[in-house]
Structure 1
Amino acid sequence: MKKIAIGIVSLLFCIGMLTGCGNSAGSSEDAAGVKMYLTISSADTFRQTIIDAADKCAKDAGAELTVKDAEGSLESQLAHIKEAVDGGYDVILCNPVDTDTALQLQLAAGDLPIVFFNSCPSDDRLEAGKYVFVGSNEAEAGGYQAEYILDKYKDQDEINVAILKGEKTHSATVGRTNSLKKALNASGKKINYVFEDYANWSTDTAKQYFELLLKTGQRVDAVACNNDDMALGIVEACEENNISFDSLPIIGVDATEKGCQSVADGKMAFTIYQSGAGQGEYLIKAAARLAKGQSLEGMEYLSEDQKYVWVPFEKVDKSNVSQYQ
């Protein structure tokens, strides 16, 4: 994924100027004077949409938001959290470099609540009212991909599928891949996984891997990618090797601007809209409540155990892609 430079963003609006994000003065999402510290594992196309929305929502809610990029370094992320503690911040918003380090991050945060986003720690590391996750349910995305493939090849008893996965430790990689394979395997059809590897969200890496697959001469009926950037790498490889997009559905997740344009152009067959804007908005809403010691009870999309805020996925193909552009 292409790196996007992220600097420190400090946004402070007065209470009387509150607009947007579903807020009104005095609402539970009013965050006038609340100091929020956001640390992201590394910048990419989709995460930038979350940050942009969080910036706007923090501004509308009257909060001060500082954004830092850990650039894939756990040490940098721990330094960010120490900075938040020492700087008198009220809440930490964290896209963890490695979800397995959630306990370490929580210990570093001390008494500060954490709203995790984009990559989800294990359930036992979350706690209602203190450590929550805002994102989309990855199992839903993988299920939608499987649904598309099975419908496309409903008259075939055997389907050859290639899978390009994101970062090995990322919860989206695990959730999307496992649910995709679970649904395909439960279909009663013979599913052959002719290729499966970690392309780490990268367009270039996905392209290189797919070109290696083409050299083997194996038949491929569909390529399912954990995100749009990797799917666009497959599109590039198909264009350079004169492979018809009608004969090889390429499937992504995120419905990014480039991904949607590819669908509109008849190249990518299908993607799944993950609302970065929605996640950024609910990230700030949840952070505002936790910073003030309030419950998330009553918040839209909140799970029954109050550990998760699930912003829904939406299916996108050529018939409705214009709604997402």
Structure 2
Amino acid sequence: MEVTQMKNKRLLALLAAGVMTVGCLAGCGGSAETADNGSAASNGGSGSTGNMTLIMAQRDDFLSTLESAATKAGEERGYKIVAQDAQNDAQKQIQFVETAKNGGDSACIVNPVDSDAAQSVVDAADGMPLVFVNRGPSDYHVLDAENVAFVGSNETDAGKYQADALAEYFKAQGKTEIKYVLLQGTLGQVSQIKRCAGVLDGLKENGITATPVVELAAEYDRAKAIDKISPVLTSGQEFDCIISNNDSMACGAVEACEAANVDPSTIPIVGVDCTKDGAQMVQEGKMLMTVFQNPEGQGVGAVEAAINLINGNPANENTQFVKDESGESYSDSIVWIPFEPVNKDNVADYM
């Protein structure tokens, strides 16, 4: 995943909403009163309530922006946040969690390396407030444990926004049967699984019969996407669109098309994340659309969910974002940061 250049006014509005909302802890916008009560006021005026550790699976543009937002949100609420990079090593990530627990941290925020191993992370936290961010556990029932929560975006929605845009495009041409090329992220990750399911189910729900020409795993990487899709473009195989699990791979597809003397504006290419490059290509008509994912919102929301848990409240109490409405036992432990569809009509708002 990569970070978008979201307008400053969007982030300022996010933070302003936090100042205006009394007692808001779990979502975007803890109030000034909340920050005071949870920091200097409760710590003899020292300005520091405690420490948190943010443990990322890896460092990329998206997660670095999430880290910056979380660190700032923690400081504003009286918490010092130390970030660690697990370098995609699940065992190293667990060790960081254990270190945070043994060091007396107030809470831990984890962007999991392996969603299937979420229970091991919970076990390592051993009752310390724990918030998964960006990537959720494969089984949300892990969130049934006390002091465990998830803050992120519903990956299925990203795929459905792609499907809606493609369905509108093809229906305008009178087409209800299409062939597609799919560029997938890291196989087995929650984001890859749910984004793929979301777009394919969404096309079906929109009355579009979609048949794969080829499905390629390019691990969210631009260069790998170019290498994987280039032979397809020169093979003579016919297809109607390119669906990508993220903007990096979608941008790679655009580059590969141009290198193969194929005009990318004639092939609807869709991505996710609304990165700077992705937004630029949407504006230029080289991509049909992308889907904005909010790293600042995820970072702020994760910190405020953690503070909620520290204070003995549900993770989603007073959230400015979206509460889980599934009715499941873990509903109070989830805060959704909505995806937003971005096309040529509104892309200027995200640049």
Q: Distance in 1 between matches of 2:235 and 2:204?
A: 24
Task: Give the aligned residue type for 1:244.
Answer: D
Kindly provide the CA deviation profile for residues 8-59 of structure 1, in whole angstroms up to 9, marking residues without a partner as x: xxxxxxxxxx979633343179642131111111112222221121122112
2:244 equivalent among 225, 228, 244: 225
Instruction: Say if 2:334 is the partner of 1:308.
Output: yes
Q: Is the 8 A contact 2:291 2:342 kept in 1?
A: yes
Instruction: Say if 2:258 is the partner of 1:239.
Output: yes
Task: Give the aligned residue type for 1:298.
Answer: N
Task: Give the aligned residue type for 2:319.
Answer: M
TM-score by length of 2: 0.83
Q: Distance in 1 between matches of 2:145 and 2:94?
A: 23
Bigger helix fraction: 2
User: For 2:335, what is the secondary structure of its paired residue?
Assistant: strand
2:66 equivalent among 50, 56, 60: 50
User: For 2:31, what is the secondary structure of its paired residue?
Assistant: coil
Instruction: Say if 2:182 is the partner of 1:166.
Output: no
Task: Give the aligned residue type for 1:138.
Answer: E
2:29 equivalent among 22, 32, 54: 22
Q: Distance in 1 between matches of 2:189 and 2:36?
A: 29
Q: Is the 8 A contact 2:179 2:241 kept in 1?
A: yes
TM-score by length of 1: 0.90
Shift of residue 82, structure 1, vs aligned partner: 1.4
Q: Is the 8 A contact 1:23 1:30 kept in 2?
A: no
Kindly provide the CA deviation profile for residues 91-111 of structure 1, in whole angstroms up to 9, marking residues without a partner as x: 110111101111111111111
Q: Decide which moves more: 65-74 or 252-261.
A: 252-261
Structure 2: 5+ residue runs without aligned partners?
3-17, 21-27, 40-48, 326-330
User: For 2:88, what is the secondary structure of its paired residue?
Assistant: coil
Task: Give the aligned residue type for 1:310.
Answer: W
Q: Decide which moves more: 269-278 or 123-132.
A: 123-132
Instruction: Say if 2:90 is the partner of 1:74.
Output: yes
Shift of residue 145, structure 1, vs aligned partner: 0.5
Q: Decide which moves more: 267-276 or 187-196.
A: 187-196
Q: Is the 8 A contact 1:128 1:306 kept in 2?
A: no
1:84–1:321 distance in 2 versus 1, CA, 3 Å: same
CA-atom RMSD in angstroms: 2.0
Instruction: Say if 2:113 is the partner of 1:97.
Output: yes
Q: Distance in 1 between matches of 2:230 and 2:155?
A: 28
Query: Superposed, which structure 2 residues align to 1:1-325 within 5 Å?
Result: 22-27=29-34, 31-32=38-39, 33-121=49-137, 122-127=139-144, 130-154=147-171, 155-296=174-315, 297-300=317-320, 301-304=322-325, 305-325=331-351
Kindly provide the CA deviation profile for residues 40-79 of structure 1, in whole angstroms up to 9, marking residues without a partner as x: 1111222222112112211221211010111110121011
Q: Distance in 2 between matches of 1:120 and 1:141?
A: 15
Q: Distance in 2 between matches of 1:106 and 1:128?
A: 8
Q: Percent identity at matched positions?
A: 35
Select the structure with the greater relative contact order (CA < 8 A; seq sep ≥ 6): 2
Q: Is the 8 A contact 1:303 1:309 kept in 2?
A: yes
Task: Give the aligned residue type for 1:318.
Answer: K
